[in-house]
Amino acid sequence: MAQLQRPPFVYMNGQIAAWDDATIHISAEAVIRGISVFEGIKGYWSHDGRQFALLAIQDHYLRLVRSALLQQLPFSMTLENFTEACFSLVRKLLQNGHDMWLRPTLLSVRGNWGADTETDLAITAYQQEMKRPEPIEVGVSTWRRPVDTALPARIKSAANYQIGRFARIEGRRQGFSDMLLLNAWGRVAEATGSCVLMVRDGSISTPPPYEGCLESITVNIVEALCRELGLPFERRPIDRTELMTADEIALAGTLMELGVVRRLESRTLPIETPILARVRSEFWACLRGLRTSPAVVLTPV
Ligand code: PMP
């Protein structure tokens, strides 16, 4: 898992710092109340190894700005400075033959109960294998995605991942590598770090954000690719029983890309995923620069 790596450098306080120097005071609200918002950004090598580029950096920046606004965290960095901060860390850590995953985190470092809040943008980055995700086995958690008026799924905040952590611990005991979360009404919300896509009768659907999922950048990309490929795609509430009888299921997210679900609880799904396979191979070809699409925006470092 990416988080277990210990890269030599991070970005913090506006500059590159050594991993061991990247510390925060125990009284900070980021620590005592878990007040931080973050992004996960993927960087890809092109197929010929000539170019390394970050995927959808502007979309990630805009979502971070919105998360900060909702979490009441001051964040005034421009897109240009944000991009340069990410690039500066990538340049220090980049290795041939490895993609990267960056985690920019906006931390509340001073202030109390939202008064006099001061923030810092810290970025960590980890090496990633250059391979497509393996099919996964998922369960359905007894934990629920909270409603928008309790812990909004729209904010990519550290606190939101408390539920995902509960679910993963529950899932690990049952032998699942990831878990699906239902919403307060028992419909499909999302997985712990990705959104859910389902194919039924040749049509792809995914729950809209008001069902309790993050506004996923990957889902937006998949939707645009489906449109290009002429595949029907809709956003609508999904009952658990629809998912249980789906023809194909995938999880979509920055780290997951488009990961095929091989087993959902006790049901093994067909190995062939004719609809999802088309989107996956198109997505992969675009990520590696073998094809171009306006849906897949790569910014070279
Ligand atoms: N839901 C959750 C809870 C996530 O952590 C992620 C990953 N950021 C996603 C969905 C997928 O979002 P994206 O496609 O923007 O990575």
- Asked if 75 contacts 121 with a C-beta cutoff of 8 angstroms, the reply is yes
**Interval between CA 191 and ligand 1 midpoint (Å):** 9
Q: What is the pTM of this model?
A: 0.97
Helix (H) or strand (E) holding 88: helix 79-93
Backbone dihedral region of 241: left (phi > 0), alpha (psi from -120 to 50 degrees) or beta? Answer: alpha
Give the distance (Å) from ligand 1 centre to CA of residue 274.
Answer: 24
* Closest atom, ligand 1, to C-alpha of 255: 16
> Which residues does a 6 A CB cutoff place in the pocket of ligand 1?
40, 190, 193-195, 213-214, 216-219, 252-254
Instruction: Give yes or no for a contact between 70 and 162, defined as CB atoms under 8 angstroms apart.
Output: no
State the DSSP string of 128-194: E-SSPPPPEEEEEEEEEPPPTTTS-TTS-BGGGHHHHHHHHHHHHHTT-SEEEEE-TTSBEEEESSS
Q: Which atom of ligand 1 is nearest to the CA of 153?
A: 3
Whether residue 144 is predicted with pLDDT greater than 60 in this model: the reply is yes
pLDDT tens-digit series, residues 193-229: 999 999 999 999 999 999 999 999 999 999 999 999 9
Nearest CA to ligand 1 atom 12: 216
What is the whole-number distance in angstroms between the Cα of residue 89 and the centre of ligand 1?
A: 22
Average pLDDT, the chain: 97
| 43 beta partners | 54, 100
CA distance 223 to 206: 10
Of all residues in the chain, what percent carry a pLDDT higher than 90?
98
pLDDT for residue 4: 81
* pLDDT at 184 > cutoff 70: yes
- The interaxial angle of helices 79-93 and 57-70, nearest 10 deg, is 120
Could you give the 3-state DSSP secondary structure of residue 264?
strand
Judged against a pLDDT cut of 80, whether residue 2 lies above it is answered with no
215 C-alpha to ligand 1 centroid (Å): 7
Ligand 1 center to 128 CA (angstroms): 17
Nearest CA, atom 5, ligand 1: 193
The number of the ligand 1 atom at minimal distance from the alpha carbon of 220 is 14
Going by alpha carbons, the residue nearest to atom 10 of ligand 1 is: 194
94, 154, 269 from 45: Cα distances, Å: 10, 30, 32
Q: What is the pLDDT of residues 241-297, one digit of tens each?
A: 999 999 999 999 999 999 999 999 999 999 899 999 999 999 999 999 999 999 999
**Ligand 1 centroid to 214 CA: how many Å?**
6
Q: Which of 254, 257, 258 to mutate to test the pocket of ligand 1 (most atoms within 8 A of CB)?
A: 254
Nearest to 65 by CA among 104, 31, 112: 104
Distance CA 147, CA 138 (A): 23
Count of other CB atoms within 10 angstroms of residue 23: 8
**How, if at all, do strands 136-144 and 178-182 pair?**
parallel
Q: The tokens 């396979």 sit on which residue?
A: 277
Per-residue pLDDT at 113 exceeds 60: yes
Residue 246 φ then ψ, to 5°:
-70, 150
